[in-house]
Amino acid sequence: MALPDSFIQELIARNDVESVISAYVPLRRRGRNLVGLCPFHGEKTASFTVYPETASFYCFGCHVGGDVITFIKQIESLEYMDAVRFLADRSGMKMPENSRENEQTSRMRVRILEINREAARLFHQVLYQPEGKIALDYYHSRGYTDSTIRRFGLGYAPDSWDFLIKALRQKGYYPEELKEAFLAAKGRNGGYYDVYRNRVIIPIIDVRGAVVGFGGRVLDDAKPKYINTENTLVYNKRRNLFALNFAKNTGKELNICEGYMDAIAMHQAGFTNTVAALGTAFPEEQVQLIARYADRVNLIFDADLAGREATQRAIANLRKTGLDVRVVSIPDGKDPDEYIKRNGPEAFRRLLEGSANAVEYRLLEIGKNYDIRSSNGKILYFKEAAKVLAELDSPVERDVYAGRLSELLGISKEAILQEVEGNRRGKQRAAAKQQLQTLVRQESKELRQVNADAAAHPRAANAEESLLGTLILHPDYFKQIKPILSPEQMVTAFNRELYTRLLERYQQGLMLELSFLSVDYDEAQMAYITRMVRDAKERVLTPEDAVTFATIIRDEHALKGLADPANATDEELLKMMETLRARKKK
């Protein structure tokens, strides 16, 4: 029986893959991943790897792999539903009474996505009508160009109680459905009214390119300043970042600021690798999302107390992923938008280049709490600073910062390092001295048994695996792939079935993470799929790469359909030669 996607999402979020597996396997951090001795086969050298970014694990020795549900299935010898129940009990969740996500819910999800798309169009169109002039003037007053306004789909909700309800009713959408999308609310008299009225509208677009929610800002200083979409069937702010749809393909560095307006201003100034956090809590889901697209993160939050606390939370959560986290301090407590307007993009670029790393920032923040000119203040600061240094995995980093503290406080470097080591003692730390050796990709018998006909079509199978792993990591690539590759053109049986499954989930607006696949696939199949994702992640594949894989698959499918040369007619031989020549040119 199928479980609701929303339940599986929360289950995985509450059962972090690292914390679950570490209860069974001692893990050491190695770069951005964790390694340990495989619990499923005897070994002396660690070949069992946990990938926090994709919430998965894989053993290079016995080729077992999958998500956290797969791990519990195997380690506890449970069936799928029992493994889910095990994790639900572990995290204090109640199993759904009705485990089948009914068709009505699925249809509603599709309707909400359609409603959001139509609403975004209407809000944007209003900007260029007489009643929208006030909002267009507002955008221009902030320095936004017409190009930026179009790029982000910015709009305006007129000062009307039922503008959107009436407009969408004409398109076949009902007020009850708008309420599910958080675009309408029910009044005391039983009628419905628009949630967004007399507000500029910022659409929230996910990495698939779908409008999943909205932010609505007042034009003056009235309260509440913002109204944001609450959780719906298609939107959860914990699992989204504003402008990630633009920033995700700009490289491996992300700027993270607080609000929509700062992010838009930074994009206009050329910093297109900028996203905005939809809140300041930085939950695990957002951390995993950031880690998927970045190696380095620049935090650009306000200098007020709330901003500093958000920065500390972000550092604490992002540090666990092994990301290079840096903090950008803007002079005079200005926000990025204001600073760029006054000083220009180049001045802001210099701020980015001179950003403090997470350790430097934390030491500076601690220093604000103590007067190190006094003996007591110096000791208290030293104690706090030593705790920060104790969290560093690199002995070199600890040594460097101990030297700086020694100069600042007049305390011997040896005494500082002794205090640091005292804080570290008793805690398991990732102190790996060498990177995991790059292993030659070897297909085990277990993996090949999953997709038995891959041996007969190695070129097609390799392209299929690369494409499928890429699509799981980047569902938005389906936009380019869906029109050029049908499921029937997949050459090998298992990959054809998996592609069909992924395409169905994509068309329904469902997520494609590994955890949503484990219900339909056994342990060997999940290991096969996990390896696809791992390989695609390591190769950092682009939409162009995905199109190339699809083209190879189509060519191989065409070849597979050709007759045996020994028994072919002249016409079939000519077709075969043309196909082979075309493949050779690629």
- Domain layout of the chain by residue ranges: 5-90, 103-233, 241-362, 369-424, 445-585
Superfamily of structural domain 103-233: DNA primase, catalytic core, N-terminal domain (3.90.980.10)
Q: Does the pLDDT at position 581 exceed 70?
A: no
Calpha distance 152→158 (Å, rounded): 19
Out of 3.30.2270.10, 3.40.50.720, 3.30.930.10, 3.90.580.10, which CATH number does the structure's domain 5-90 have?
3.90.580.10
Per-residue pLDDT, averaged over 184-193, amounts to 93
| The pLDDT value given to residue 530 | 92
Calpha distance 129→115 (Å, rounded): 21
Q: Does the pLDDT at position 201 exceed 50?
A: yes
The architecture (CATH level 2) of 241-362 comes to 3-Layer(aba) Sandwich (3.40)
Q: How would you classify the pairing of strands 274-277 and 253-257? A: parallel
| The pLDDT value given to residue 568 | 54
Q: Which residue has the higher pLDDT, 509 or 530?
A: 530
At residue 375 the predicted structure's pLDDT band, cuts being 50, 70 and 90, is confident
| The pLDDT value given to residue 583 | 52
CATH number, domain 445-585: 1.10.860.10
At residue 1 the predicted structure's pLDDT band, cuts being 50, 70 and 90, is low
Token code pair at residue 364: 């500076």
Per-residue pLDDT, averaged over 161-167, amounts to 97
Q: Does the pLDDT at position 444 exceed 50?
A: no
Q: Does the pLDDT at position 563 exceed 70?
A: no
pLDDT in tens, 284-321: 778 878 877 888 899 998 877 778 888 888 888 887 77
For residues 20 and 27, the answer to whether their CB atoms sit within 8 Å is no
Q: Does the pLDDT at position 442 exceed 70?
A: no
Longest C-alpha distance within the chain, in Å?
A: 96
pLDDT in tens, 98-113: 645 556 777 888 899 9
Whether pTM > 0.75 for this model: the answer is: no
Q: Does the pLDDT at position 500 exceed 90?
A: yes
Per-residue pLDDT, averaged over 499-527, amounts to 88
Cβ contacts of 289 within 8 Å, gap of 6 or more:
239, 240, 241, 244
**Weakest mean pLDDT among 97-101, 176-180, 476-480:** 97-101
| The pLDDT value given to residue 312 | 84
| The pLDDT value given to residue 215 | 97
Give the other-Cβ count within 10 Å of 9's Cβ.
18
Q: Average pLDDT over the chain, rounded to whole?
A: 85
pLDDT in tens, 69-105: 999 988 887 788 889 989 998 988 888 866 455 567 7
Q: Does the pLDDT at position 389 exceed 70?
A: yes
At residue 44 the predicted structure's pLDDT band, cuts being 50, 70 and 90, is confident
